[in-house]
Every structure is written in C-alpha cells, then in structure tokens.
Amino acid sequence: MKNFKFSVLLISISLLMNTACKKEPIPYLNGPTSQQITSDPTISELNNLVTGTESGMRNNIAIYLDVVSMIGREGYRFSGSEPRYTSDLLGAGNAVLDNNTFYLTNPWGSRYNTIRNAYILIQAATNSTYITDAQRKAYTGFAKTIIAYQLLLNLNLTYENGIRVDVADYNKLGPIVGLSDALTAISNLLNQGQADLTGSDVIFNLSSGFSGFNTASGLIQFNRALAARVDVYQQNWTAALTDLNASFFNLNGNFYTGVNHVFSTASGDQLNPLYLPLNNTGENRLAQPSYVTDMEPGDDRINKVALRNTPATQSGLTSNYDVAIFKTNTDPVSIIRNEELILIYVEAKIQTNALTDAQTAINIIRNGHNLPNYSGPLTQSALITEMLKQRRFSLFYEGHRWVDVRRYNLLSTLPLDRPTDHIWKQFPLPFSESN
C-alpha cells in the first residue's frame, strides 16, 4: 500500500481547504508553489502529483456517502456531537439543507481540491521535458478521468442547481452550468481522457486500489466504466452498452472486480473513515429498518448489516442494525465495480427493449446473492422495478440509491422516518459559490 502523505502538500498549494472553488488558495510557505511544480517537473515530481491526486479523492468520502445515503433513506448517521445528520438531512420539521455547513461544503470542497490537483498535473505534464509524448498522454488521460469523476460526485449533490465545470484556470472560473450541460461536459472529459490514454505509456504508480487497472488499457477500462454510469444518467442507453463493452464489464465475472479507494495504518496515510465498530455507542452508522424488512428471505446481502445487541435510538429514530460493509478500518471503499456494471447493462437492455437479455442479467445478480430466478412479468415497467430493487440491495451505502430514485422520479416512494420529515431532491449551491 502506497503512503499518501504527499497529498498534504498538494492540497496546500492548490486551493480551498474544505470550501468551495471560489475561496482564495492558502500558500504553502515551506514547499514549492504550483508554478514551480508545473514549470518543468521531473518524472518523480509528476508521479508525486499523481499520488496526491489519487489520495485526495478519499478526502471527506465518508461525509459524502453518509449524506447521500441518509437522504436516500438507506441509513442513519447518529452522532453525539452533530445533530444535523438527523435533522437537516432528513428534513425534520422545519429543518432545511444549509448551504454553508460541513455536510455540503466539506465534500464539495474536497472534490474541487482534487480537481485542482489534477489540473496542476495536466499543466505539469504538458510542460515537462523529461517525458515522451506517450507518457505525457498517460498523465493527462488519468487526470481528465479523475476530474470527470470528481465533478460527477458534486453534481450528484446539487443536481439541477448545477456545478462549475470550467475550472481549469483558477483565476478565471467558468459559470455554474445546469444538469444537462454538466453531464455533457463530464462525458466530454471522459472521452478526452480515453483518447489521451489510448496508445499512452503509463510510467506512474497507483495504489493497490487500481490493481489490474494501472496500465493504459486498464485505465481506459476504468474510464469507460465511469462513462457508462454517466450514459445512464443521460438516458443514453446505446452509448452505455458501447461503453460497457470497452470497460471491465463481465457478465459472469466477480461482482467486486473494480477500482477502489484504499487505506492503511502507514504513517501519513488515512484509515477508512466509514468504519465504525459494531454495537458502538455515541457514534453509529445504521441501516434504515426497511433495508432488512424489504429484503427477500435468503438474500445474502443481509450480511451488509449486522444485528445489534441493543437497538440504537436518537431523535426519534431507531435501528436494530449496524451498517457492516466495512469489517476493519483499512477495508477498501468502492469507486466502481463489476456488479454496478452488470446492473447498468440490465438497465440499458430494459430501456432498449431487450427484455430477455435484461432478465438473464437480473438472474445473474439474483443467483449471485442466493436468490431464485426472477419470476415476475417480462415488461419494461416490471423489470425497471426489479432492476432498481437489485441496485438498492447490491449497491447499498455506495452512493446510488438517492440518485436512482431521483432519476426515475420516485423520491416520493422513499420511507419517511418521522411524520414531519421531508425527502430532499438536491442540495443548494454552497454559499461560497454565490459570493
């Protein structure tokens, strides 16, 4: 496992310490500036930029997954010191989503931090005289892929309120653009990344989270997997199938093959911030009760939660089950994996009316989790319902449920935990984006 402590330097020289992309950068007084790094960097300096960019993707990932999972009614985050998890995020009473608090500004700012680091990498690789053109393309193709992924996560939060996509020049930021234009820009970045990676020469190291995907061909597969996710968000079903075929999609492959964030106990590295001990008190990450009650008997995805010795209760909410996806504080966190790609295939096949193909793939998911074949109607409507059901249980607490029900206009079907709670469609733009 690679030590990621260099990322501290990179974030210091870029911008926005846990804020949005309009804040002024904080200078790093004891190290090189971004101008110095990008003037004519060595291979070692370029590789450090890659390491820092990958490391930065992990920052505040726990907050991101907590907030989208809570709004999507997958789980609860109980905290003795932070009541807004159970008030603002669940829309309790008169509570609203705050545009200037940690649950929005921290993940939002971290994503733009990583984007800034990736643009520094592009500029540095462009200016370096120490690398070949093929090596240069590997650096820029990787960076563009990561930029697109980070933008997509922020767009998942603010949705129709939009994001900034033109942020290459920190001193001349582009405007906020809407959902459709943002998805198009993200798709274009992924396409540019794929083009750069094609025929490139990867000479940088990535963490074990990219094991099997750390060559040019492997990074293209990762890039196309992300592109397929964006395609279904755009309802571009034919493109999704095309991009799946260029990804690591394998209908009969291991569900967990994919790219991950990784963690370690090494000095300067991070522990998995989503891990909490089972039966913990004070700080809990819990399953919303319907995750268990809505599950078919025999489904092995019940193992993603664990029955507590005693129920946990806070603010009128109660759960008997801990989220048990992460067994230790160094377990990986998925970025994208084959099971999601199979479910993207299912969705694209349903939407292109290839219903038998969709049914076959649904049965692969069902059988892989100890369930019998799908026996419902072979109609688009019924299969969409089944597909969303399988996505709910297969991708539990991976950041998809809220996005899925929203894009199918099914937010009203999410359970209300308390009579005065509300379901949010999207976050407001951070306060700093309007100043």
pLDDT in tens, 169-213: 988 999 999 999 999 999 999 999 999 999 999 999 999 999 999
pTM of the model: 0.93
User: Cα dihedral sign for 301, 306, 311, 314?
Assistant: negative
Listed in order, strand segments (DSSP E) in 113-188 are: 163-164, 176-177
φ, ψ of residue 207 in degrees (nearest 5): -70, 175
DSSP 232: H
**Per-residue pLDDT, 435:** 58
CATH no., domain 7-270+331-414: 1.25.40.390
Cα separation of 314 and 37, whole Å? 49
Amino acid identity, position 394: S
Specify the DSSP class assigned to residue 141: H
| Residue 3: predicted pLDDT | 39
Ordered by start, the domain boundaries in the chain are 7-270+331-414
* Apex 21 CA angle, 274 and 19, nearest 5: 45
Low-confidence residues in the chain, pLDDT < 70: 1-33, 435
- Is 19 strand, coil or helix? coil
Nearby residues of 256 by Cβ (< 8 Å), 6 or more positions away: 334, 337, 338, 339
**For residue 307, what are the β-bridge partners?**
321
Backbone angles phi, psi at 164, to 5 degrees: -90, 130
- Cα separation, 221 vs 237, whole angstroms: 18
DSSP string across 90-111: TT-TT----TTSHHHHHHHHHH
Q: Which two tokens stand for residue 296?
A: 């078919």
Contact 285, 259 (CB under 8 A): no
Separation between Cα atoms, residue 69 and residue 392, nearest integer Å:
11
| 124 touches 41 (CB < 8 A) | yes
pLDDT at position 270 is 96
Q: What is the pLDDT of residues 346-356, one digit of tens each?
A: 999 999 999 99
Residue 4's closest CA among 266, 331, 236, 396? 266
